[in-house]
Amino acid sequence: MNININYSNLDEYSIRDYYNKDKHNFLPYLWTSAYGLQSLIKEKKQHSLIKKYIYQVHSILGTVNNTNLAIKIKPNLKWFQSLSHQKQELVNESVKGLKNIKGGLRIGKAEQGLEPGIYLHYITKWVYSLIVASKHLKNPKYLYLACQLMLTLCEKNINTRTDGSTYYPKKMDVFLLSPIQTSEISHDPLDVFITLSTLIINLKHLKPKQTHTITLYIKMLTSMLENNIPKVIEYIDNPKILHTSDPLGIGFLLVSCLKIRLIIKYNIIDTKLLYKLYEIVLKQSRISLNKLRFNKHSINNDAYRWYGLCIGLEAINTLNYYYINKKINDKYNRTIKILLKYYGLKHNIIKNFKTYSYNKGNWNRHKDINIVMFLSTDFPIVSI
pLDDT digit string, tens, across residues 250-282: 999 999 999 999 999 998 889 999 999 999 999
Interhelix angle 188-204/212-237, nearest 10 degrees: 150
DSSP H/E element including 221: helix 212-237
Q: Indicate the burial class of 160 (C-beta count within 10 angstroms; 0-12, 13-18, 19 or more).
A: exposed
Residue ranges of the chain whose pLDDT lies below 70: 1-2, 21-24, 109-114, 209-210, 380-384
Provide the CA 311 distance to its chain's centre, in angstroms: 12
Domain residue spans of the chain: 9-229, 238-384
pLDDT digit string, tens, across residues 196-242: 999 999 999 987 766 999 999 999 999 999 999 999 999 999 999 99
pLDDT score at 384 = 56
Determine if residue 274 is left, alpha or beta; phi over 0 gives left, psi from -120 to 50 gives alpha, anything else beta. Answer: alpha
Report d(CA 57, CA 37) in Å as an integer.
Answer: 10
Contact 246, 225 (CB under 8 A): no
Contact 315, 254 (CB under 8 A): yes
Its pTM stands at 0.94
Q: Specify the DSSP class assigned to residue 194.
A: H
- Of 296, 306, 354, 300, the closest CA to residue 13 belongs to 354
pLDDT digit string, tens, across residues 317-350: 999 999 999 999 999 999 999 999 999 999 999 9
